[in-house]
Every structure is written in structure tokens, then in C-alpha cells.
Amino acid sequence: MNQAKRLTTYKYNKDKSINRYWVKNMYTAALRLGVVPKDDNHKLSFDFDGEVQDNNNEIHNSFNEKHYGTLRVNGKKFSNVIAIIHKGKLLTTFWPNTQHADGYKSCTDELVNLYMYEVENNITPDENYTFEKVATHYHKIFKDNPSAPPAYIMKELYKDKAKFDKHSINDTLRSLEMSNKDLESKADRQMHTIRNQAEALSNMSTKNTLQKEEIEELKLTANMAYDDRGNGGLLNDGVYTLMDVKWGSRGVKKAIIIKLKDKDNREFEVANNWLKGLDHRFLHATILIGKQVKYSTWGSYSRDWFMNIYSPDYNA
């Protein structure tokens, strides 16, 4: 039996903090449907018409109901949608059943966590994770690979920079173009680092047949991976070969684990679990596999933590 429901998600909790489900609904609609829900007076409204399905599933708790039917967002109708509704009132998540059986696996938690962290710490939102950006660029990749997590989608975006709008690419590249004459007077620490890395790779191109696209990719990723807290951290002695990079954990947090090799061929691992820019740092390190690098560490932390990765000719 079909049930028509008006589902409302409020932007703010009673204590005036951001409602996590408001953020999740925004990102879920953007990623999986390619639409940004209209916020009307700090609330989202979804109209769902469908029927309850078997709730014996492993991904949602006993207070949720799994529905199948039609979801309307901003007046636009999306058929064949699976919706998880909490206690008959709260839309917790949803995905288009027609696109792929694994559509629900494209968790938006990474995006939600980043948004919540930035709001709670008064950090300017990352322009690469806006609802509009996710609804366009990220959604295109989701349609091809619905089970992909946001971290993978972002990696695919950087592999194919044509998926970025032309103006966004040009603006980013223009911000990186600075002459040697103006570098010392105009470039801040971050831009200096990016330029050094790009120039180092350019000099290596004849030996390693490095393509121009790889240099441009490094410029983009290095810019967004750079952590400028504490002037970029304390630079450690030595030059190392970056052997490998993988996802792991440090404490209770997801972390990037990088394997380095010193001049005596001794290998060791360093980690980074700082949430902001984490995916960018992973991609940046991946591009540098097999290359010589330096690295910095935050404050008084031990050297088995890294903060930023630099080209071997970088000096603090």
C-alpha cells in the first residue's frame, strides 16, 4: 500500500547547532540525484510516495523503515528510489535503485564530516566540496560508478580535469603562474612550495619522460594538500624516496600512511590524520610515489607524523 509523506529536515537543532541530517540530505541529493535541495527558511522539504519494503537489512537500525517509491526534490520527480525513513518522519538517506544495486554504498559521511568540522571551527568552506560542485562534477562520476566513495570520486576528478568547469581550472592555474622576478616579493610560503615542486618535476621531465599533464596535476593537488598551520610545520632533516602510500588509521582516526626510504635504504612509515585536506594529501602523495621528497612535522610531534611534503630542494 502506497504512503504519501511530506518529510521535513530542519537546518538547526534546538541548541542552534547545525543539524547533521540537514547536511547529509543536501549531500545525498547532490551526489546521488545531481540536484541541490532548496533550503526554504532553514528547512528542506521532500515529498515521498511509496511503500514499505522488507526491513531486514544490515545497514540501518530497527527504528528505520525502508521504502521504495518516488521522491520529489524541488518539484522534480525521481522514480524508483529507495528511502530510509526514521520513525516515519526523518529522511535519513536515499538512493536511486535504478542506477546500481550498490548505490547506497557511496557514503556521504566524508563530505558531511568535513562540512561539520569547518562550520564548528569557523573555517572557510572548501570550494571543492560545495553542494553545487558535488551535484555537478561528483554526480557525473557517481553515475558511472555508484558504489565509489567520495575520496575515489575526487581522485577521478583530478585524473580527468576536463570534468572541472573551464573557468575553475583557469582561475586555479592563473593563481599558480608567477615569474621568478616576483616570487620572493609576492609569493607566500605555500605558493613557494608549489612552485618549487612544479619546477623540480619540470627539470626531471627529460629523464623521466614526465608529461605536462602530470606537472599541472601536481600544481593543483599540492595547492589543496598544503597545511599552512604553524607556517607549514617544522622541516625534518634529510631527503627521502617516497615508496608507497595507503589508507590506514592512527588512534581512532582515518589516516594516510606513507612509506619513505632514506639514503641508507632504510624504510619507515609516517602518518597524517588531519581531516581538512586529507584526501588531497593522499592524492598528492600518490603522484609523488618514486620521487625524492622532504617532509615537515607539526609542532612537537614525533617524526613518524608528517604535515606537508616538499620537493628535495625546498628550504624552510
Q: What is the residue extent of each domain of the chain?
A: 3-128, 175-310
Quick one: CA torsion of 274, 279, 283, 289, rounded to 10 degrees?
40
Separation of alpha carbons 1 and 20, rounded Å: 31
Q: What is the CA radius of gyration of the chain?
A: 22
Q: In the prediction, which pLDDT does 178 show?
A: 44
Looking at residue 148, what is its pLDDT?
Answer: 61
Dihedral sign for Cα atoms in the order 259, 261, 267, 270:
negative
The C-alpha atoms of residue 307 and residue 301 are separated, in whole angstroms, by: 10
Successive 10-residue mean pLDDT values, the chain, 316 residues: 84 90 94 93 94 61 82 94 87 76 58 84 80 86 66 55 46 44 44 55 49 59 79 91 92 90 95 88 86 91 92 79
Cα angle for residues 313, 293, 211 (degrees, 5° grid): 90
Q: What is the pLDDT of residue 163?
A: 39
| Distances in whole angstroms, Cα of residue 230 to Cα of each of 146, 197, 239 | 39, 20, 22
Residue type present at position 154: M
Q: Longest C-alpha distance within the chain, in Å?
A: 73
Global pTM reads 0.50
As a CATH number, domain 175-310 is 2.40.50
